[in-house]
Amino acid sequence: MPQTSIFQERLTAVRHKLPEWEVDGLLIASPSNRRWLSGFSGSNGQLLVTANKALIATDFRYYIQATHEAPHFTLFRHQRTVEDTRNFLAEAGVPRVGVEAKHTTLEQMDELMQVENITWVGLAKTVEPMRQVKTAAEVQSIQKAAAITDAIMAQVPQIARVGMMEKAVAWELEKALRQAGAEALAFDILVASGPNSALPHHHPGSRRLQAGDALIVDMGAQVDGYKSDMTRSFYLGEKASVPYFELYQLVMRAQTAVFQQARPGMSLKAVDALARDVFARAGHAEHFGHGLGHGLGLDIHEDPFLSPRAADEDTIEVGTMVTIEPGCYLPDWGGIRLEETALMTEDGLVPLTHCPKEPNIV
Ligand code: ZN
Ligand code: ZN
């Protein structure tokens, strides 16, 4: 578990932001933001932070856990009633409170509106930008998750066999990840074969693997709440077909260009363009339809997003964890994606996933 002092630092950072957000308090209910700020990993709870108070409300199931995991927060015993919500908020004694616009439902907002004497201010982002740059402990957890994913990805050529259903391959990989030490999957494993591999977010189904198929496996492990993410592409056969092999090389070149040229301080857009330009020069611009990558940590998709739609002024900084996942998808034919989890350092991107890139499965 990370040292408690990091949570003190984060609390201080949030308090410094309150004037900028034009609020006297902040209510945090989203699980990842709550865990990042307090250390509390339970499924139910709310944080309320003001200039001089740090409160955590949770229900009976978590009283002891919250006391242990979030020692910098004062426990408020919540029985999940509107009356308790009112008392909890009265405890803070502040008139303007920020609420997470992205993570608050209409139902929750309705309950908050019943509390007298508080003006609610919807904030598009609260601690998300602070979560981008990882601490050494966070990097270590992601490294462990990446190593597990690496080891199991290397077994795909032994696990995936012609005649197996996609979902059977996914289940074998899931068991292997758990046996190798993953506390959970980072997300549902993606196994896409044949024409399905042209669908970047295909859900593994009953299609059976056939000789000559393109195959995409996208998976990640979770350790200490932190996620890893990795994709490899394979060809089912002794020797990949010429078009498959050429496309595979193209995706490799796009990924290599990013690892060679991305530097801290570059705009997110410019990093994305490093790969996009490689596809465009090869006449495949329209076959790379998604962003180059995404931040990851407590969430599998978090800030920053490497995309042509990123704001011009948003940059990638030292300590940011991102995926680099160029892909090329030809409708009805198949697709190829290669994805690493990588850390931005002073010298550029360093991959945390290393499993060899070999297009053939015998
Ligand atoms: Zn992925
Ligand atoms: Zn990803």
**pTM attached to this predicted model:** 0.94
Q: Computed from CA positions of residues 339, 340, 344, 350, in that sequence, does the dihedral angle turn out positive or negative?
A: negative
Q: Which ligand is nearest to the CA of 302?
A: 2
Q: In the chain, where are the structural domains located?
A: 3-130, 136-361
Q: Which ligand is nearest to the CA of 220?
A: 1
**Residue 209 alpha carbon to ligand 2 centre in Å:** 23
Report d(CA 232, CA 257) in Å as an integer: 18
**Residue 336 alpha carbon to ligand 2 centre in Å:** 14
Angle subtended at Cα 153 by Cα 150 and Cα 158, rounded to the nearest 5 degrees:
140
**Residue 44 alpha carbon to ligand 1 centre in Å:** 28
**Residue 146 alpha carbon to ligand 1 centre in Å:** 12
Give the other-Cβ count within 10 Å of 313's Cβ.
8
CATH architecture of 3-130: 3-Layer(aba) Sandwich (3.40)
Q: Which ligand is nearest to the CA of 218?
A: 1
| pLDDT tens digit sequence for 135-194 | 999 999 999 999 999 999 999 999 999 999 999 999 999 999 999 999 999 999 999 999
Where do we find the tokens 């399905």?
196
**Residue 322 alpha carbon to ligand 2 centre in Å:** 9
**Residue 353 alpha carbon to ligand 1 centre in Å:** 12
Q: Which residue has the higher pLDDT, 265 or 86?
A: 265
CB 174 within 8 A of CB 222: no
| pLDDT tens digit sequence for 298-329 | 999 999 999 999 999 999 999 999 999 999 99
Residues found in the chain: 362
- Domain 136-361 falls under CATH 3.90.1150.10: no
Report d(CA 268, CA 292) in Å as an integer: 10
Looking at residue 287, the DSSP 8-state letter turns out to be G
Q: Closest Cα to residue 251, out of 332, 355, 351, 335?
A: 335
CA atoms within 13 A on the CB side of 28: 25
